């Protein structure tokens, strides 16, 4: 499984990258612009990500903008969509709704545990 983890908080980024590295190659981005460039590069190399985790509050392009841009680009490039997992500190109903209507597959609330992550990965058919 190829994964892109997007979070500007070092501890959260390190924790999630460590947890997901167990399942395959895991790359990290600390802002939306960097993540979008990494996504585009991976698709152009015919090595798209299987999973992209996106924190909502990230610099240069918030998580919702990044999600929309990735989904749009997947359609333009006619590639199979990656599974998308939005992550937030709080379970704000508006954020959960916005994620759902913007083609997000899973919404998780920090802190993320190994057990919850594994359940969601199984539900998505990634492990």
Q: Model confidence over 28-65: pLDDT tens digits?
A: 999 999 999 999 999 999 999 999 999 999 999 999 99
pLDDT score for 80: 93
The sheet that has 51-55: what strands, in order across it? 26-29, 3-6, 51-55, 83-88, 106-109
Whether pLDDT at 91 is above 80: no
CATH number at residue 42: 3.40.50.2300
Contact 65, 35 (CB under 8 A): no
Specify the pairing of strand 51-55 against strand 3-6: parallel
Structural domain includes residue 39:
yes
pLDDT score for 90: 78
Report pTM: 0.94
Distance CA 31, CA 9 (A): 10
Structural domain includes residue 105:
yes
Distance CA 100, CA 94 (A): 10
User: Number of folded domains in the chain?
Assistant: 1
- Domain ranges, residue 62: 3-121
pLDDT score for 28: 98
């Amino acid at each position: 499984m190829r994964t892109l983890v997007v979070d500007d908080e070092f501890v959260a980024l390190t924790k999630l990258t460590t947890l997901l590295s167990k399942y395959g190659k895991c790359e990290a981005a600390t802002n939306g612009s960097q993540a979008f460039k990494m996504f585009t590069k991976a698709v152009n190399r015919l090595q798209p990500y299987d999973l992209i985790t996106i924190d909502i509050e990230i610099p240069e392009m918030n998580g919702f903008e990044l999600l929309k841009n990735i989904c749009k680009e997947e359609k333009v490039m006619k590639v199979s969509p990656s599974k998308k997992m939005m992550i937030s500190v709080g379970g704000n109903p508006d954020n959960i709704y916005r994620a759902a209507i913007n083609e997000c597959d899973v919404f998780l609330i920090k802190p993320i545990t190994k057990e919850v992550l594994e359940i969601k990965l199984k539900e998505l058919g990634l492990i």
